[in-house]
Structures are given as C-alpha cells and as structure tokens.
Amino acid sequence: MSDISEARKIIKGFASTIGNIKLNTLVFQLVVKKIAHCTGKVVTTGMGKAGIAMEKFSSTLCSLGVPSCFLHPGTASHGDLGVLSPDDILFVASTSGKTREVLETVESATNIGVSSIIGITSHSDSPLRDVVNHTLDMGVIKEEGHLGLAPTSSILVMLAITDALALVVAKKKGLTAEGYFQYHHSGYLGETAAEMSSGKKYTNRPRK
C-alpha cells in the first residue's frame, strides 16, 4: 500500500469513528445544563494527549464566554489545586480512566469540596467512572495506524464531544456574534464577528 493510500485509509477510519459517536442523551443534557449554569469556572484536566485536548476545550469555552482554565494533573498536587473552588466544575478526561495523576486530582478536588466532577472516558473498566459525578462515555475506540497504540482516534473523539458540548452550551446561553466579539475581537474571526453584529464590512481586511 502506498503512503497516500495508507493516509487515506487512516483518515477514513477517523471519519468513521467520529461519525459513530453515541451520546447518552440524559447525561449530555445534564452536563450542558451544569456548564451553562455554573457560577464558578470550568476547570479541565487530563494527562498527555488527553491533556492537550482539554487545554483546547478550555480555550474554546473561554472564547464562547464560559470562564475556564486548564489544570495539569502533574502539578496539581504541588500547589496548583489552589485554582479550584467549590463553585467550579472539574472536567476530567482519560481514555483508559486509569492514569494515576488524574485519579489523584479527582480525589483532591473531592476533598476540597468541588461538588460537580464530570469525566470523559472510554474503557468499560475505567476507575474514573466510579469517582466522578457524571460520565460522558466515548464508547469503544480503535486507534488508527499499524500499531493501533498512539492516541489518535480517541483524542479526536474527545475533541469532537467537547467541541459539540461547548457549542451547545454557547447556544443555550444565548451567545450572539456581538457577544463573541467581546471575547474574540482580534484577527479575522474578530472582524467577522464585528461584521455579523453591525452588518458593516471591514475595508481593511486583506484580500485573498
């Protein structure tokens, strides 16, 4: 198989995995409601590639007007837990749900009094399911590539679910283009949001 054929096969595998995501309606709606009515902030956490996905989730929430920040599980026990408060939501991601630092962060958050902890995981025997309040189930996932080991499909599923969650929350909160502009007023997206709000075209935008 040629390199390009292999790449196309992998990409088709990604598309199939994302297309087959199944969300538990009751859990998803509950998580949307909790985030939309959160009086604190959404603190995301995860280790390795899952952590990168959670950093992206946090950044997306901020741009949509939902206060959020990322807490690294490796430094949480070295003082960074101070970012948490009881009014916050802790959003925890781990495909296996067995990562020691992640589970320790959840335990510490519980001891601090964080009342709402949401997990996103895949493995049916994930210990994470037993220590969070609500679980978004990613389903059984096969990683792409000849080894089937590198976190690829699983991270794309995390990104798809959390992006969908962020966008649904933003719609539920009634975010408008004008509101988006307040949080993201620079660059191309800022100009686009401003145009959508005012109905006026920016003349200084670079032509393609």
Whether residues 88 and 180 share a domain: the answer is no
Number of domain units in the chain: 2
Whether residues 112 and 11 share a domain: the answer is yes
Whether residues 109 and 148 share a domain: the answer is yes
Whether residues 7 and 55 share a domain: the answer is yes
Whether residues 10 and 84 share a domain: the answer is yes
Whether residues 132 and 200 share a domain: the answer is no
Q: What are the CA-CA distances from residue 62 to residues 67, 99, 117 (Å)?
A: 5, 26, 19
Whether residues 88 and 183 share a domain: the answer is no
Q: Strand pairing of 89-93 and 68-70?
A: unpaired
Domain residues for the domain of 44 are: 3-174
- With a CB cutoff of 8 Å and minimum separation 6, the contacts of 53 are 46, 93, 155, 158, 159, 162
Record the pTM: 0.92
| pLDDT tens digit sequence for 110-161 | 999 998 999 999 999 999 999 999 999 999 999 999 999 999 999 999 999 9
CB count, 10 Å around CB of 100?
Answer: 9
Whether residues 14 and 116 share a domain: the answer is yes
Whether residues 146 and 194 share a domain: the answer is no
Kindly tell me if the per-residue pLDDT of 106 is higher than 70: yes
35: CATH: 3.40.50.10490
Whether residues 59 and 99 share a domain: the answer is yes
Whether residues 165 and 185 share a domain: the answer is no
Residue of 68, 69, 66 lying closest to 37 (CA atoms): 66
